[in-house]
A and B are shown apart, each in its own frame.
Chain A
Amino acid sequence: MRYLPLTDADRREMLNVIGAKTIDDLFVDVPAAAQLSGPIAGLPLHTSEIAVERQLSALARQNLAAGDAPFFLGCGAYKHHVPASVDHLIQRGEFLTAYTPYQPEIAQGTLQALFEFQTQVARLFGCDVANASMYDGSTACWEAIVMARRITRRAKAILSAGLHPHYVSVAETMAKFTGDVLDTAIPQLTRGAPGNDLDRLLDAIDGETSCVVVQNPNILGHVADLSELAARCHEKSVLLIVVVTEPVSLGAIKSPGEMGADIVVGEGQALGVGLQFGGPYVGLFATRDKYVRQMPGRLCGETVDAGGKRGFVLTLSTREQHIRREKATSNICTNSGLCALAFSVHMTLLGEKGLRDLAAFNHAHAVTAAERLERIAGVALLNGAFFNEFTLKLPKEARPVVRSLADRGILGGVSLGRLYPKADALANGLVVAVTETATPEDIETFAVALEEELA
């Protein structure tokens, strides 16, 4: 077997050194009733690399890849062009096959990359500090709510209707067990500002509130100014948590930190990571200096070595489970290191200029597409302000339309019926994302097909 270096002669010799007759002697502590006498039934035996490749390639071919179709899906996962060098670099064995940098003298590569990542994320979000990544945006969002509870010692979180419904679901699942109180709402297809509920949020803030959680751009693509909300939160010592699921937007839109957010969390998938059917992705988490010791997750910090040279280490680990056990700020251990590296390499390639160009390109492309799609009879564009994603209201239910578009080889957006199956008022909503990967021809193909589906 190609991954197992021991030969039978090695095994015999080693058993001899150990003083065991057979391998079974080493499993003597396992109760006899639980010992299996041979390979587990019902599973195939080992096979060649070529056979495995054939079997898995056949499964892969059953899927319609985003790159093989006019593609307009977003809602928390975005297709962007990832430069070839990103994937090459993250596949270097020294990054790919390293462990968590617990021995910093021989992990400076990972650690320096994390320090750069933290700085990039903090600057992108307009915050003082960022951590070394979380599992994904949805779990980072829940961790932010928990952090706000720790800081304010209050347990009611107000979630905007524009927050990704999966993120809301994750918080609801957890809150059932932790006793946190969540104030949630379903978004409205309001013309001009779909999913925007700033007034509701302001009204809901009370003496029990720990935080308000708002996504920007929101699930329907609407972009809002959150400055007034931030100010009102701060008047009542409530923390403003802003969620960003499309980090490319921050090359064009004022950052959450500039608007007054206290904690900013996000999904970093859009940069460097790729779609991968939903994971692994990379959770981003940033906040103000004064809250650092309440943050979850690993943090990389600068220090010096015994010779006085600059170096980096994991730090403030007294917050973490391996030291604090049941008193830790979170149970998180593994982060999303390799995806964080991909994010950081992509960001380094872009730089400020490239990020702004990329964002401007996305925005211009999305505006062009929105204007084209809006011209279809019966279709209404709901967004006033948007970045690279917007919501259309169709004259009929969107979910079957999306399915028939898929049958024609077009991946034409995410229907709100998929995301909010119980909300009939949203059934005609279609969320369309347009990034730099869509060509003008793709947009036209999509528009013509949609026109035909609605005719």
Chain B
Amino acid sequence: MSINESGWRPEMGSAGNDDDIATFTGNRGLMLEEPLIFETGDFAGTGVDFLPKPVAKSRLDGLERNRPIGLPGLSEPETVRHYTRLSRQNYAIDLGLFPLGSCTMKHNPRLNEKMIRLPGFGDIHPLAPTSTVQGALALIDLVGEWLIKLTGMSAVAMSPKAGAHGELCGILAMRAALEARGDARSVILVPESAHGTNPATAAFAGYAVENIPATAEGRVDLDALKARLGPDVAGVMITNPNTCGLFERDMIAISEAVHAAGGLVYCDGANFNAIVGRVRPGDLGVDAMHINLHKTFSTPHGGGGPGSGPVVLSAALAPFAPLPFIERTAEGFQLVEEETAGEHHAQSFGRMVAFHGQMGMFVRAAAYMLSHGADGLRQVSEDAVLNANYILRRLDDVLDAPFGDTGPCMHEALFSDDGLAEGFSTLDVAKGLIDEGFHPMTMYFPLVVHGSMLIEPTETESKAALDQFIGALRSVAERARAGDKSLKAAPHYAPRRRLDETAAARKPVLVWKEPEQAVAAE
């Protein structure tokens, strides 16, 4: 990288397409290259002005930071341009169908964004006296009530920060309940097809983890599960609909068997979008389930977060829910924190996070729930399932659908790499889709299917958008079956060609260093 009087230029690389024309800037029309702020910014530059500061004697007691920090600053126009140019290197729902299975990339309504920016929600302090935040507590209570009714459960813990944090909340409540009855157990059973967060969560909470095998139909093997249940098994973590996009037909039997053996049932609610408004997990015998507000309830994924993972709980687990929680009293809403927990919530397993959870996500989810209503949410799951089945049936002649013969799928369609030409993989199909202008599907997950391609269109896609995606994937799949070599080098038309992830991990470069430092470190 260099800055000279001609301006910043990227290192061009060499292996472009044959018809590439080299440009001075490295840009290709609207495909714009952008340096790091550390390469163009100046330590004296800034995009913020201040009023004159009051004169006061320092009270830092000799702890002043005197050495340079190394933070470049940009003026406002440079800052806006930097991040706007970066943004254009991203794919996003706003640009097109985003079929990541298990991720529920649905449209993010802009009303949600408008509502969280009301000062009464966005500009209130978490420790403000509760008399000044009654509307905020009412809002959290409102979202909690919707979640309880939609799931048919008894209580809700609102504070978990994301899905995996919600899993942790549910597992800790289960463990607290078991310990309270003097029945500490040591093992959590997890199906092979589970999200990686399930076993990681169980281990993080101090449990040993054992796998339950799947049947040939992609579902939990009930007999194997029953055979493993016993006095050491604290419970199971089941995803339903599961990560193959299938409903666990035996769910009620699973819950009954686990309960009969003294265990508890955790349900990973990542796929709740498939059944919201049509099926209540409480009717399936579930004891705890997290709900990803950033999936089912449309809060934006923001390039990886923040999420929000409230957990609904059965009557058996409700007394063990974490702090804080909201109580309705004659004087209004009260926040039950450590101070009053002894009186009101003696069996709580404790606090999971500073403050009260993801208020910003609660407001967005509330706007979404109220907009849809109970009838609209039912239509959400129906359209999500319809869209997925449409994709499944329109592509199962060019892609192998391992469970296609067992019946309909739920909200996501699963294909394998069976039938692709020798040397061609799911990765090639995915990168080919990028050239077609789509984000790829989830690849290589779930692990129970070879070369998994998991496609979740969500309900916010029109038939025209689905038809175009199907046409694109059909074309790419046919190229992969025919062994079209150009696919091995895809993507050709993205801001970057395939990136070398092995090199990145072998010698990690995780922060920018000034060139001379970088050289000296060699």
Across the two chains, which residue of chain B brings its CB closest to A84? B76
Q: Tell me if B382 is interfacial: C-beta within 8 Å of chain A.
A: yes
Given contacts A20-B408, A119-B511, A326-B202, contact A277 B390 (CB under 8 A): no
Chain A residues contacting B167 (CB-CB under 8 Å) are 331
- Bound CA span A23–B379, Å: 10
Question: Roughly how many angstroms separate A331 CA and B354 CA in the complex, as a whole number?
Answer: 18
- Mask, A147-191, CB within 8 Å of B = 1, is 000000000000000001111011011001111000000000000
Task: State which residues 361-378 of B face A: CB under 8 Å.
Answer: 361, 363, 366-367, 370-378
Asked if A309 contacts B13 (CB within 8 A), the reply is yes
Is A428 close to B, CB under 8 A?
A: no
Instruction: Kindly list chain B residues whose C-beta atoms are within 8 Å of the C-beta of A414.
Output: 127
Q: Is the Cβ of A279 less than 8 Å from the Cβ of B357?
A: yes
A53: interface (CB < 8 Å): yes
Complex Cα gap A290–B239 (Å) = 37
B301 in contact (CB, < 8 A): yes
Is there contact, CB below 8 Å, between A96 and B308?
Answer: no
| Most chain A beta-carbon neighbours within 10 Å: one of B37, B53, B504 | B504
Assess whether A353 is in contact with B46, with CB atoms less than 8 Å apart.
yes
Contacts of B486 in A (CB 8 A): none
Contact for A15 among B59, B206, B386, CB less than 8 A:
B386
Question: What are the 5 A-B residue pairs with the smallest beta carbon separation, nearest first?
Answer: A351-B73, A278-B355, A338-B302, A60-B120, A308-B13
Residue of B16, B48, B209 contacting most chain A CB atoms (<10 Å)? B48
A167 touches B508 (CB 8 A): no
| CB neighbours of B26 from chain A (8 A) | 309
In this complex, what residue of B is CB-closest to A120? Answer: B71
Stretch from B258-266, B310-318, B415-423, B492-500 contacting the other chain: B492-500
In this assembly, does B305 line the interface, its C-beta being within 8 Å of a C-beta of chain A?
Answer: yes
Q: Among A105, A119, A371, find the residue whose CB has the most chain B CB atoms closer than 10 A.
A: A105
B-contacting 9-mer, from A204-212, A234-242, A251-259, A447-455? A251-259
Contacts of B499 in A (CB 8 A): 104-105, 303-306, 311-313
In contact, A333 and B378 (Cβ under 8 angstroms):
no
Extra 8 A-B pairs, beta carbons < 8 Å, given A63-B132, A223-B63: A17-B393, A20-B389, A112-B89, A275-B122, A320-B196, A347-B71, A349-B46, A352-B69
CA gap between A36 and B150 in the complex, in Å: 11
A294 in the interface, Cβ–Cβ < 8 Å? Answer: no
Residues of A within 8 A of B (CB-CB), count: 218
B161 at the interface (CB under 8 A from A): yes
Across the interface, which residues of B come within 8 angstroms of A119, CB to CB?
A: 38, 511-512
0/1 interface trace, chain A 236-270, chain B, CB 8 Å (1 if under): 00000000000000111111001000000001000
A403 within 8 A of B: yes
Candidates B74, B135, B196; contact of A328 at CB < 8 Å: B196
Return the contact of B500 from the options A53, A303, A322, A345 (Cβ within 8 A).
A303
Q: Measured between alpha carbons, how far is A365 from B54 in the docked complex, in Å?
A: 6
Evaluate contact between B306 and A337: CB separation under 8 angstroms.
Answer: yes
Q: Is the Cβ of A6 less than 8 Å from the Cβ of B90?
A: no
Interface members, chain B 305-357 (any A CB < 8 Å): 305-308, 322-323, 337-340, 349-357
Give residues 102-138 of B contacting A (CB, 8 Å): 103, 105-109, 111, 113-129, 131-136, 138
Q: Is B181 an interface residue (CB 8 A)?
A: no
B479 located at the interface, meaning its Cβ lies under 8 Å from any Cβ of chain A in the complex: no
Closest to A227 in B: B63
Which residue on chain A has the smallest CB distance to residue B394?
A17
* Given A43-B374, A309-B13, A350-B48; A97-B505 close (CB under 8 Å): no
B498–A100 touching, CB < 8 Å: no
Given contacts A349-B47, A351-B72, contact A338 B354 (CB under 8 A): no
Question: CB-defined interface of A54-65 with B at 8 Å, one 1/0 digit per residue?
Answer: 011111111111
Asked if B481 is at the interface (CB within 8 A of a chain A CB), the reply is no
Q: Say if the beta carbon of A375 comes within 8 Å of chain B.
A: no
CB contacts (< 8 Å) of B306 on chain A: these are 135, 279-280, 282, 334-339
Are B90 and A422 in touch, CB under 8 angstroms? Answer: no
Task: Please tell me if B247 contacts chain A, counting CB pairs below 8 Å.
Answer: yes
Mark B40-55 against chain A: 1 for CB-CB distance below 8 A, else 0: 0111111110110111
Q: How far is the CA of A316 from the CA of B503 in the complex (A)?
A: 11
Report the minimum CB–CB distance from A429 to chain B (whole Å).
Answer: 14
Give chain B residues whose Cβ lies under 8 Å from the Cβ of A167: 354
- Is A391 located at the chain interface by the 8 A CB criterion? no
Give Cα A350 to B79, complex, Å: 10
- Report which of A57, A120, A128, A253 forms a contact with B64, defined as CB distance below 8 A: A253
Give the residue of A30, A49, A76 whose beta carbon is less than 8 angstroms from that of B275.
A30
Contacting residues, chain B, for A373 (C-beta < 8 A): none
Q: Do B351 and A65 have beta carbons less than 8 Å apart?
A: no
**A169/B351 in contact, CB under 8 A:** yes
Check if B302 sits within 8 Å of A29, measured CB to CB. no
8 A-B pairs with C-beta separation under 8 A: A56-B118, A60-B121, A91-B113, A123-B71, A130-B511, A279-B308, A309-B496, A364-B55
Of A47, A94, A353, which one neighbours B44 at CB under 8 angstroms?
A353
Q: Which of B356, B407, B410 contacts A278 (CB 8 A)?
A: B356
Number of interface residues of B (CB under 8 A): 219
- Which residues from B are CB-within-8-Å of A23? 382, 385-386
Interface residues of A in 327-362 (CB under 8 A from B): 327-328, 330-339, 341, 345, 347-355, 357-358, 360-361
Cβ-defined contact, A52 with B370, below 8 A? yes
Q: Kindly list chain A residues whose C-beta atoms are within 8 Å of the C-beta of B57.
A: 367
> Are the C-beta atoms of B120 and A59 separated by less than 8 Å?
yes
Tell me if A138 counts as interface (CB < 8 A to partner B): yes
A20 to B407 alpha-carbon distance, docked (Å): 11
Q: Looking across the interface, which residue of chain B has its beta carbon closest to that of A73?
A: B125
| A349 to B291 Cα, complex, angstroms | 36
Which residues does chain A contribute within 8 Å of B301, judged by CB atoms? 97-100, 337
Asked if residues A4 and B360 are in contact (CB atoms below 8 Å), the reply is no
Contact present for B45 and A26 (CB under 8 Å) = no
- Cβ contacts under 8 Å, A92 to chain B: 83-84, 87
Contact with B along A387-407 (1 / 0, CB 8 A): 100000000000000110011
A108: which of B90, B118, B175, B394 is its contact (CB, 8 Å)? B90
- Give the nearest-CB partner of B202 in chain A: A326
A223 x B120 contact (CB < 8 A): no
Known: A63-B135, A306-B498, A338-B302. A36 touches B338 (CB 8 A): no
A130 to B511, CA, bound (A): 8
In the complex, what residue of chain B is closest to A59 when comparing beta carbons? Answer: B135
- By the criterion CB–CB under 8 Å, are B498 and A34 in contact? no
The residue of chain A having its C-beta at the shortest distance from the C-beta of B276 within the complex is A40
The answer to whether B149 touches A43 (Cβ under 8 A) is: yes
Chain A nearest CB from B304 CB (Å) reads 3
From A18, A351, A368, A403, give the contact of B46 (CB < 8 A). Answer: A351
Is B431 a contact partner of A105 (Cβ separation < 8 A)?
Answer: yes
Q: Which single member of A64, A253, A322, A370 contacts B133 (CB below 8 Å)?
A: A64
B4 at the interface (CB under 8 A from A): no
Question: In the complex, what distance in Å separates the CA atom of A334 from the CA atom of B344?
Answer: 32
Q: Is A173 touching B352 in the complex (CB atoms < 8 A)?
A: yes
Point out the residue from A19, A99, A309 that lies within 8 Å of B303, measured CB to CB.
A99
Is residue B185 within 8 Å, beta carbon to beta carbon, of the partner chain? no
Q: Find B505's partner among A95, A316, A406 (CB 8 Å cutoff).
A: A316
Shortest beta-carbon distance from B161 to chain A in Å: 4
Q: Is the CB–CB distance between A136 and B36 below 8 Å? A: no
Residue of B nearest to A138 (CB): B354
Q: Which of A3, A31, A47, A323 is in CB contact (< 8 Å) with B196?
A: A323
With A106-B90, A258-B67 in contact, is A61–B135 under 8 Å at CB?
yes
Q: What CA separation (Å) do A250 and B212 show in the bound complex?
A: 50
Minimum C-beta distance from B14 to chain A (A): 5
Q: In the complex, A415→B361 CA distance in Å? A: 28
Known contacts: A138-B353, A302-B509, A316-B505. The answer to whether A331 contacts B201 by CB under 8 A is yes
Q: Is the CB of B430 within 8 A of A109?
A: no
Q: What separation, in Å, do the CA atoms of A206 and B59 have in the docked complex?
A: 34
Contact of B135 among A11, A60, A436 (CB under 8 A): A60
- Bound-state CA distance A115–B361 (Å) is 25
- B68 at interface (Cβ–Cβ under 8 A)? yes
Whether A313 pairs with B501 at a CB distance below 8 angstroms is: yes
Residues on A with beta carbons closer than 8 Å to the beta carbon of B357: 278-279
